[in-house]
Structure 1
């Protein structure tokens, strides 16, 4: 598709921008210096052995960002995005987070598209997971074409590409065998026939009988079988399959994870053997769970998109996935609040930035340059601190009553984005903060400083500004009489004794939001623990 006709100044700025989507897009300009003459094809791959997760989603998002960047730097060239599901792959193990484990175990080795759906909703396990993928890609408005491997194999659309693999069988073996250990090399074949008896995808040596007819010979359950590999009667080994579909689908760009680095090298060599060219692409780092382990679809140890959106906004998810794709990131609930606030900080800057800086702002890429109409009057971090002191039973109405102390026209209908965050803050506090919240007792020096703060607040009205309150807190923290070495220690003491957290908001803003009298009650509770 052609996205738009772009302004010359935008194109010029994009062609020198250091934002990573533009750097990736310029690889395609070098690949097609005179233009391709047809839509440039982007691809993302999905293995439907488990439910889709954020790792799957991020690849589509990041690829889309590169696609849009290419449309800009090229001045509006046509593009396509293919979301490819490798559902002809054989089921190697039963996922940990899927019902019907016993039933799935009975189908190990069979193509995912030929295994019953354990959820009982679709014609196969792969069809179920493919539907889940498409559902949340559609939810976020991605422009893509879904392609299932099983459809291409079964319909014969890949038949000519399969014949091409058989024609170059020996050359492909020459690429792959040196990369394999002796035991694996002894049984390796680029082609994996589907057993005519068990229906399993077989990992057995194969001899080419007739490349043009697509016929191969192999052993199955002690019998020699001659069988066509066309029309869904076989699939290709992973690295060969990847190279084959690059050529068959005309793929020009595909990014992939660091764990597939070697696969990308070997598939690129196989693509050359088949008469094609490896696509451009980026090798991104992997997401890790809170224990530092790789996120796995089959383990289900990562955040789902639904979980993220329970506690954070769609925009914050986009920002987290946008940033530093070549750096490993932890992906767990603890990263959500910072991502929410970072998004709004970038959004507030966008409108006042010159075009060169806008193109380096993640929000420009995530909103196609539109930005946000309104600023967020209260940070998510401050909301979480407020909800934290209100407790797990806090309600939306309670939160808005406190917001009236701080936000002009404080009403959900006047601030819909803030209202959505109020609901998410309540959920985050209920599930992650309140269960483990502990406010420690102050030390003797801290208690003396808290008494001074309480006395100072007594002289303040509820209308005191956040800045006035912040100045008051600073003055107490700097008073040598309390023996506090630096202001950082003072604020940490306030967070830990009043809020039950090692870090927190500007305390002046918090007091203005929560109220002077309420804050004095918190101080009294802290002093009672002394």
Structure 2
């Protein structure tokens, strides 16, 4: 018996939770030679911390278990940065708070860098800290930026798909929201052409195939513009689902606080023609 087969047999019998998770992944059939995609998420409105580390570590443990179970089947681990999100509040542990306050609501990647570093934006600095953090611990991963995907057109086709299924997504999400939130909810969040802020406003789908939307800007004017090329992003639960489908994610774990989000995003992923990844829901102290 080869060493690989011995390791594989031992892995199949292992009762540790990473192996239990990996065995569930075996049922997720993919074309031969196509890698199984693991994903972790990072919100660069703050610096990476122990929670960031443990999420990547836990996912890496499942990835290694899967590779042992399969005798070395190809895998990828994506460390995804949500740097297209609008800045909701100024963090307590950053310099130049007054400057950051002037850019509330703008995508994190379009806010000036408040730190004494050469990075071009607030998000770029924090993303660099994340990568250095993960590199220092020797993690094997691929860094993916939401802003790059949105701005450079990597999510354009996925966005068109969201626009085509706009009503189906609303049918999933609206019953889960309070009445006042329903009035402003949209699966797509446009970026204001006048202020640069990510807007929480109702959006009309003008032409889904062209990616054209219309909405009321902050000054009350009606704007018709493309949602593509970084002019819009998806609402949180829609964004998560869209990303799963666009990137072909097979496994992502998340904390118990996101249980409901995972359910709704899973339903949206199905509407978009994909499927929810496998993944463990963990307690916040795990």
Specify which of 152, 155, 158 is matched with residue 158 of structure 1.
155
Question: Which residue does 2:206 correspond to in 1?
Answer: 209
Shift of 1:7: 2.4
In the TM superposition, 1:29-428 aligns within 5 A as: 29-32=26-29, 36-121=32-117, 122-220=119-217, 221-287=219-285, 325=286
SS at match of 1:212: coil
**Per-residue deviation, residues 422-464 of structure 1 (Å, max 9, x unmatched):** xxxxxxxxxxxxxxxxxxxxxxxxxxxxxxxxxxxxxxxxxxx
Is 1:168–1:273's contact at 8 Å kept on the other side of the alignment? yes
Shift of 1:77: 0.4
| Runs ≥4 residues deviating over 6 A | none
Shift of 1:21: 0.7
Shift of 1:89: 0.1
SS at match of 1:187: coil
Shift of 1:37: 3.5
**Per-residue deviation, residues 323-360 of structure 1 (Å, max 9, x unmatched):** xx3xxxxxxxxxxxxxxxxxxxxxxxxxxxxxxxxxxx
Shift of 1:13: 1.7
Q: TM-score, normalised by structure 2?
A: 0.97
- Judging by fraction of residues, say which structure has more helix: 1
Aligned residues: 283
The structure with the largest alpha-carbon Rg is 1
Q: TM-score, normalised by structure 1?
A: 0.53
Q: Given the superposition, is the C-alpha separation of residues 160 and 182 from structure 1 closer, same or farther in structure 2, using an over 3 Å criterion?
A: same
Shift of 1:6: 5.1
SS at match of 1:41: strand
Structure with the bigger RCO (C-alpha within 8 Å, sep 6+) is 2
Q: Which runs of 5+ in 2 are unaligned?
A: none
**Superposed CA RMSD:** 1.2
- Judging by fraction of residues, say which structure has more strand: 2
Once residues 228 and 285 of structure 1 are traced to their aligned partners in structure 2, the CA distance between those partners, rounded to angstroms, is 40
Once residues 256 and 184 of structure 1 are traced to their aligned partners in structure 2, the CA distance between those partners, rounded to angstroms, is 25
